[in-house]
Structure 1
Amino acid sequence: MSVAEPEETVDFFAGVLGWAVIAEPGGSFSGWVGDRLAAQVVAGVQGWRVFFGGDEPRALTGNSSVDTGRVLHGPWAPPPRHGEPCWAELMTAEPEDEYWSRELGWQVEPGAEDFVLFTSSRHGDPRPVAGRLKTGRAPGWLTYFAVDDLAAACARVSELDGRVLLEPTTVPTGLIASVEGPHGGACALLEHPQGWGGNWAG
């Protein structure tokens, strides 16, 4: 994630998500859950950037990229723990489902009126890997983080001067809320997902 105030922002999310924070060279910070990296926070203005596993590192549209190496979070990784990424949804006014199929080999499964589910067979049977929701907002990925208690997490957001943008509500993914830190970094919280994608994990 790139925000104007990386240190204050990583401290905010550490307070909500329980990250252990490490200061990195160049003024960036990493947030950890146990031995797994949950996020990196750097100076900038682009917000969250999502990285997908693949064979060739490259930039994608929607503030996302492909990287090689071991994937720490996703449908074939261990179940998400409190504070770890657990889902991603592309918010866009102009769906380009063919682009994601071409770039990442994803299959498209139409869902509700403005939603599609992307699945991947990269490591065997197809599994849900991401969603796409048609909205009127600027295109970009909404990152979800697992929490054990959504009401408590939202209360903590308010205590730390953040904002609850969407109060807890049930959607096909599960019980979610949308929150934002005092210096940006809007994301979603998903209560106790059993796997990547919450209820989509089956």
Structure 2
Amino acid sequence: MSVAEPELSVDFFAGVLGWAVIPEPDGSFTGWVGDRLAAHVVAGEQGWRVFFGGDEPRELAGNSSVDTGRVLHGPWAPAPRAGEPCWVELMTGAPDDAYWAGELGWAIEPGTEDFVLFTSSRHGDPRPVAGRLTTTRGDGWTVYFAVDDLEAACARVSELDGRVLLEPTTVPTGRIASIAGPRGGECVLLERPAGWGGTWAARHLT
């Protein structure tokens, strides 16, 4: 995530999500859940950036890119713990599903008029890897973080001067709330996801 005030922003999300924060030599900050990196917060104005696993590092649309190496979070990683990323959805007013399928080898599973589910068979049987929602609320990837207690997490958001943009509600992914830090960084909280993608993972594997 790139924001104008990285230290203040990482402190907010650490307070909400329970991260252990490590200051890095370059002035950035990393947030950890146990031994797994949850986020890297740097100076800038782009908000959340999503990295997908692949064979060739490259830039993608929507403030995202492909990187090599071990994927820390996703359909084949360990189940998400509280405070860790647990899903991503592309919010866009101009869907280009073929672009993402072509760039990342994803299959497209139609959902509703406004939503499609992307699946990947990169490491075996197809599993949900991301979603796409047609919306007029901006373009880019939205990151979901796992929490154990949605109401308690939303209370912490308010206590730390953040905003709850969408009060707890149930959607196909599970029980969610949308939040924003006092200095940027909108994201979604997902309560107790069973795996990457929450309810999508459970439905796809049954």
The answer to whether TM tops 0.5 is yes
Equivalent residue, structure 2, for 1:155 = 155
Equivalent residue, structure 2, for 1:24 = 24
Equivalent residue, structure 2, for 1:126 = 126
Task: Determine the C-alpha separation between the residues in 2 that align with 1:138 and 1:159.
Answer: 27
Task: Determine the C-alpha separation between the residues in 2 that align with 1:108 and 1:177.
Answer: 26
Q: Supply the AA of the counterpart residue of 1:179.
A: I
Residue 37 of structure 1: how far off its partner (Å): 0.1
Equivalent residue, structure 1, for 2:185 = 185
1:6-47 deviation line (CA, Å, top 9, x unaligned): 000000000000000000022100000000000000000000
3-state SS, counterpart of residue 109 of structure 2: strand
Identity rate of aligned residues, in percent?
A: 81
1:72-119 deviation line (CA, Å, top 9, x unaligned): 000000000000000000000000000001000000011011000000
Equivalent residue, structure 1, for 2:172 = 172
Two-structure CA RMSD over aligned residues (Å): 0.5
Q: Supply the AA of the counterpart residue of 2:94.
A: E
3-state SS, counterpart of residue 27 of structure 1: coil
Residue 137 of structure 1: how far off its partner (Å): 2.6
Equivalent residue, structure 2, for 1:137 = 137
Aligned length: 202
Q: Supply the AA of the counterpart residue of 1:137.
A: R
Task: Determine the C-alpha separation between the residues in 2 that align with 1:101 and 1:146.
Answer: 26
Equivalent residue, structure 1, for 2:13 = 13
Instruction: Provide the TM-score with structure 2 as the length reference.
Output: 0.97
Task: Determine the C-alpha separation between the residues in 1 that align with 2:187 and 2:123.
Answer: 28
Counterparts of 1:83-98 in structure 2, within 5 Å, are: 83-98=83-98
Instruction: Provide the TM-score with structure 1 as the length reference.
Output: 0.99
User: Does residue 74 of structure 2 align to residue 62 of structure 1?
Assistant: no
Task: Determine the C-alpha separation between the residues in 2 that align with 1:165 and 1:3.
Answer: 19
Task: Determine the C-alpha separation between the residues in 2 that align with 1:106 and 1:24.
Answer: 34
Query: 5+ unaligned residues in a row in structure 2: which ranges?
Result: none
3-state SS, counterpart of residue 128 of structure 1: strand
Residue 189 of structure 1: how far off its partner (Å): 0.2
Hey, which bits of structure 1, 4+ residues long, moved more than 6 A? none
Task: Determine the C-alpha separation between the residues in 1 that align with 2:76 and 2:107.
Answer: 16
Residue 138 of structure 1: how far off its partner (Å): 2.5
Q: Supply the AA of the counterpart residue of 1:114.
A: D
Equivalent residue, structure 2, for 1:43 = 43
